[in-house]
């Protein structure tokens, strides 16, 4: 925070008089303006919804110090560029672009607005004023995979995915490996639907998986459609990113929860006290940006205990789902016995574990 000296008071007042149309009030006590670029609608009850929850937590936690606004339904194409420019021009000094597909746009616009700090979610390109952040979503998959492995009667579990990108592949593999750890007979049938949001197609994919014998289905798409199909077919599913039990009270066993709030608060604080750096952050359950929803009544005690053990182990670092031996679909060894996979290898994961049928 800079001090209000007479000189800069005059300067800022003059600026305020000169540029009334911009509505710029460059007072020292002015709160930090934080902008968010959202992929979906804040009402998607999933990915964007959880970022929006994080934004609200940020505003509540740093009341008076921070104002935060957002733009929703921003496509992952060139049309994101003017949105980001607008946010920067409105005086936002910390801007979170919350989807992988904003990567190049964020880098490009950040160059033109060097005094704004940019944070790109789930990407890997950084610059002097662009940091990246991600959540260890796969840790939640290890929990749901454990539950799926123990609760499947057909030994066939399903997964409705979006695209074959590392984030989704990690989820598929963590889900499968955790399930196999408690039930070696498990195979995972995988359907990639080539879109993040299309409730009808998500539902049709889940129906297809149920038709070919899956009795627990996980999803990495943006709507609760898969869960609604699970409810109708009397099989089980999980929420992803948010508690979705209201959509499927009987089918919903638990959900991994994206809790971006702590991260957004820490970054805004860093900007406020001048310690912000363009980091590459990959937090998870330990740091509190990933959690689990309560188990449903359908989860028996022994399954709860096994799942709790995974959560506790993840938090204290004694458990890591990507611990060898891990073989891929072709039988090739990917992680040697006893070794933990390195972060760098996880982030480029493009192979499916043995037992994944895609």
Where does this chain bind other proteins (CB under 8 A)?
40-41, 43-45, 73, 158, 164, 189-195, 197-205, 207-209, 211-212, 223-225, 228, 232, 246-247, 357-358
Nearest residue (CB) to other proteins, 35 versus 224: 224
Is residue 215 within 8 Å of residue 236, measured between CB atoms? yes
**Nearest distance from residue 214's CB to other proteins, in Å?**
8
Beta bridge partners of 138: none
Residues near 79 by beta carbon (within 8 Å), at least 6 away in sequence: none
Is residue 194 within 8 Å of residue 221, measured between CB atoms? no
Nearest residue (CB) to other proteins, 61 versus 71: 71
**Nearest distance from residue 197's CB to other proteins, in Å?**
6
Rg (CA), the chain: 22
- Measure the CA–CA gap between 74 and 166, rounded to whole angstroms: 22
**Nearest distance from residue 356's CB to other proteins, in Å?**
9
Nearest residue (CB) to other proteins, 117 versus 252: 252
SS3 191: strand
**Nearest distance from residue 20's CB to other proteins, in Å?**
31
Nearest residue (CB) to other proteins, 147 versus 168: 168
**Nearest distance from residue 191's CB to other proteins, in Å?**
5
**Nearest distance from residue 42's CB to other proteins, in Å?**
9
DSSP label at 31?
Answer: P
Nearest residue (CB) to other proteins, 320 versus 328: 328
- Measure the CA–CA gap between 202 and 211, rounded to whole angstroms: 14
- Measure the CA–CA gap between 249 and 100, rounded to whole angstroms: 31
Nearest residue (CB) to other proteins, 191 versus 311: 191
- Measure the CA–CA gap between 218 and 232, rounded to whole angstroms: 15
Q: Which of 259, 228, 245 is nearest to 297 (CA)?
A: 245
């Amino acid at each position: 925070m800079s001090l209000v000296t007479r000189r800069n008071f005059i300067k800022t007042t003059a600026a305020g008089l000169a540029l009334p149309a911009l509505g710029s009030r460059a007072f020292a006590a002015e709160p930090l303006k934080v902008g968010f670029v959202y992929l979906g609608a804040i009402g998607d009850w999933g990915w964007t919804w959880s970022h929006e929850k994080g934004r609200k937590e940020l505003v509540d936690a740093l009341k008076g110090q921070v104002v935060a606004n957002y733009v929703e339904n921003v496509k992952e194409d060139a049309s994101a560029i003017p949105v980001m420019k607008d946010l920067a021009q409105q005086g936002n000094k910390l801007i979170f672009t919350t989807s992988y597909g904003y990567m190049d746009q964020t880098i490009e616009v950040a160059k033109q607005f060097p005094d704004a700090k940019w944070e790109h979610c789930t990407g890997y390109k950084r610059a002097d004023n662009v940091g990246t952040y991600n959540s260890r979503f796969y840790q939640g998959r290890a929990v749901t995979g454990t539950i799926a492995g123990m609760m499947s009667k057909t030994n066939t579990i399903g997964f409705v995915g979006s695209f074959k990108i590392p984030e989704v592949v990690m989820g598929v593999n963590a889900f499968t490996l955790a399930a196999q750890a408690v039930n070696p007979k498990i195979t995972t049938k995988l359907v990639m639907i080539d879109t993040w949001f299309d409730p009808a197609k998500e539902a049709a994919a889940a129906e297809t998986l149920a038709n070919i014998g899956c009795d627990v289905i996980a999803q990495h798409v943006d709507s609760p459609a898969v869960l609604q199909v699970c409810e109708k077919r009397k099989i089980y599913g999980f929420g992803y990113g948010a508690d979705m039990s209201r959509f499927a009270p009987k089918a919903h066993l638990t959900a991994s929860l994206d809790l971006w709030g702590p991260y957004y608060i820490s970054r805004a604080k860093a900007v406020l006290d001048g310690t912000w750096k363009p980091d590459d952050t990959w937090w998870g359950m330990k740091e509190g940006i990933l959690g689990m929803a309560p188990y449903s009544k359908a989860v028996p005690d022994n399954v709860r205990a096994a799942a709790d053990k995974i959560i506790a182990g993840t938090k204290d670092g004694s458990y890591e789902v990507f611990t060898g031996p891990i073989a891929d679909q072709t039988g090739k060894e990917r992680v040697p016995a006893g070794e933990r996979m390195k972060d760098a290898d996880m982030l480029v994961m493009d192979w499916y574990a043995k037992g994944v049928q895609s």
